[in-house]
Amino acid sequence: MNLLKGLTTSLVAPKPPSEKPLAASLPEFRVDFLVHQDPSSATSYFRRASPASSHVWRQFIVRGQQLVVAGTSKPLLTLETPHATLEPVSGNEFRLHANKSPILTLFCPSATRLSKFQAVLQLSALTPYWVLSPQTAFEALVDVATAIVETHQANAPPSVTLPAKHPTLSSVDTTIVNEDANEPEPEEACVTAADVAAYLAHCKPVYDHLLTLSTKADVHAYLVQLQTDYAADRAHVLNFAHFVHRQHCMEYTDAAKSSWAPPALDYSVCPHAICRQPLDADAAFDIRFTGAAVPCSHCGHPITAEDIQYTSVARDHPELTFHTTVGTPLRRLPPGQGTYWNYTKLMLNTAMQMQAVGSTPLADIDKAALTQLLTDVMIDQLDLVAAMARHLLFVSQVCSQYDYWSHPTVLEASVVRYHQFRQLEATHPTKTLMPTMDIALVHFAHQAQSSSPSLPLDVPDARSHKKTMAGYVETFRLWADTFHDAYSSVCPPSKGGVKARLVHSLAQVAKSPPPRYPSVDCWFVGVDEVLPWDLHQPVNGLINEDRNGQASEPSTTTNTFVAVLGTPLMESRVRLPRHVAILGQHRGGAFFGWTPWMANQMFDDMDYAIVVGARMSMVAART
Each residue's pLDDT tens digit, 391-405: 888 898 899 899 999
Say if residue 205's pLDDT is above 90.
yes
Bigger pLDDT: 369 vs 1: 369
Bigger pLDDT: 325 vs 72: 72
Other Cβ atoms less than 10 A from the Cβ of 546: the count is 14
Residue 20 dihedral angles phi and psi, to the nearest 5°: -75, 135
- Maximal CA-CA distance, the chain: 99
Each residue's pLDDT tens digit, 147-183: 999 998 885 444 444 444 433 222 223 222 333 333 3
Assess contact for 419 and 204: CB atoms under 8 A: no
Each residue's pLDDT tens digit, 575-612: 766 665 566 555 444 333 333 333 333 333 333 333 44
Bigger pLDDT: 79 vs 539: 79
pLDDT band of residue 322 (cuts 50, 70, 90) is low
CA distance 188 to 289: 33
Is it true that domain 5-134 has CATH number 1.10.1040.10?
no
Residue from 216, 240, 215 nearest 229 by CA? 240
CA distance 195 to 234: 21
Say if residue 373's pLDDT is above 50.
yes
Chain-centre distance for alpha carbon 465: 15
pLDDT band of residue 566 (cuts 50, 70, 90) is very high
Bigger pLDDT: 328 vs 82: 82
- Rounding to the nearest 10 degrees, give the CA dihedral for residues 613, 617, 620, 621: -170
Instruction: Choose the most confident range, by mean pLDDT, from 40-44, 298-302, 371-375, 531-535.
Output: 298-302
% of the chain exceeding 70 in pLDDT: 61
pLDDT band of residue 60 (cuts 50, 70, 90) is very high
The answer to which of 95-104, 290-299, 362-371, 429-438 has the lowest mean pLDDT is 362-371
559-568 burial, b if ≥16 CB within 10 A, otherwise e? Answer: bbbbbbbbbb
CA distance 583 to 210: 9
Other Cβ atoms less than 10 A from the Cβ of 513: the count is 11
Beta bridge partners of 591: 594
Half-sphere exposure of 599 (CA within 13 A, CB side): 19
- Rounding to the nearest 10 degrees, give the CA dihedral for residues 313, 314, 318, 319: 70
Residue from 390, 372, 375 nearest 245 by CA? 390
In DSSP notation, 2-52 reads -TTHHHHHHHH-PPPTTSPPPPTTS-EEEEEEEEE--TT-SSGGGS-SBTT
Quote the pLDDT of residue 227: 93
Residue from 408, 411, 519, 469 nearest 11 by CA? 519
Residue from 309, 408, 284, 378 nearest 612 by CA? 378
Each residue's pLDDT tens digit, 407-459: 999 999 999 999 999 999 889 888 888 899 999 999 999 888 765 555 556 55
Quote the pLDDT of residue 177: 30
Say if residue 530's pLDDT is above 50.
yes
Residue 597 dihedral angles phi and psi, to the nearest 5°: -65, -45
Strands 531-532 and 328-329: unpaired
pLDDT band of residue 561 (cuts 50, 70, 90) is confident
CA distance 336 to 362: 33
Quote the pLDDT of residue 253: 73
pLDDT band of residue 115 (cuts 50, 70, 90) is very high
Half-sphere exposure of 406 (CA within 13 A, CB side): 14
Query: Which residue intervals of the chain bear CATH 2.30.29.30?
Result: 5-134
Say if residue 332's pLDDT is above 80.
no
Quote the pLDDT of residue 327: 63
Bigger pLDDT: 292 vs 375: 292
Segment 37-44 shows an average pLDDT of 53
